[in-house]
Homo-oligomer: A and B are copies of this chain.
């Protein structure tokens, strides 16, 4: 390999030489640590600017290695029979950990039952006992989450919300989709796929609905598309807190028998596979079915042709970015972005095999 020997960037040493000071002083100026005379500070700053100095991140990190472990807490729903969705953010967090564990990062998991508020509260308590340096979580239960946030702000602990934000709250950092849009675009797809005379069914299948901001907001986005575009399609609503297949299929079949002109069904969360299973058993191939999340059961029905579109928001990347944001913030004081909106991906039978969660 042919190589040059010239330096690409000047370092603290060079700045110190030009400024006729020690590198310790240069470091003080760079990081505004104080204890430097105005005159020296100005001189060094001007040199830094002239040289367009860029710190060597490698060396920075290396020098900090000995500082001890940083403890991050992850508070997310456990995966359940109902859905494996939450595996993805956890995988993302682990992937991040692999990249940064060398720098003394430790992650502790606090998993709760997403249908049980008490289990959430309990894990919040454990988390507080753990005294994390940073927190990654999803606000499944808004009230308890708000308490956690208040506590974190009091102790100055940085935190990142993923997957869903808390409405009307000024959270430190949210990484996830703009949920309204994520419902809105589902409606656009329906609009492309069905006739104006057909009816549309919105199905909310979750143990907890009224308190579930993500579901409500998605539905809102969905309905608004029809309003905004003056579409004449009749939109029906279907809600159930009984998420088992037997219960859902029974209620669905009753509804579909009454309403004969349903052209499309949107399931507002990852439980779309339950509906797909019903459509398969009932032989209803012509209804366009849309839902959320790239999980195995859903992919199965996507392949079979019973699910037509899955909308996904890279949950794994959300976990990954969340941990990385905390890391960068804690180690390099890098400010966190208030809102980092993930892309809203459209997955079909023909592109799912290339998708990266």
Contact = CB atoms under 8 A, between A and B. Distances in A.
A199 interface: no
A3 interface: yes
A58 B192 CA distance: 51
A104 interface: yes
Contacts of A185: 348, 350-351
A179 to B, nearest CB: 11
A69 B192 contact: no
B354 A58 contact: no
Contacts of A246: none
Nearest to A193: B192
Interface string A37-66: 000000000000000001011110110010
A342 interface: yes
A9 B105 CA distance: 11
A110 interface: no
A125 interface: no
A341 interface: yes
Contact of A58 (B102, B106, B177, B353): B102
A1 B330 CA distance: 9
Given A104-B8, A188-B348, A58 B69 contact: no
Nearest to A4: B69
A107 to B, nearest CB: 12
A3 B70 contact: yes
A181 interface: yes
A247 B272 CA distance: 48
Given A3-B69, A62-B58, A69-B8, A350 B102 contact: no
B343 A355 contact: yes
A354 B343 contact: yes
B350 A184 contact: yes
A6 interface: yes
Interface of A: 1-6, 8-9, 54, 56-59, 61-62, 65, 67-71, 101-104, 106, 131, 133, 177-178, 181, 184-185, 188-189, 192-193, 225, 288, 308, 330, 341-346, 348-351, 353-356
15 contacts: A1-B330, A5-B69, A8-B101, A8-B104, A9-B102, A56-B102, A58-B62, A58-B65, A58-B102, A178-B354, A181-B353, A185-B351, A192-B288, A192-B308, A345-B351
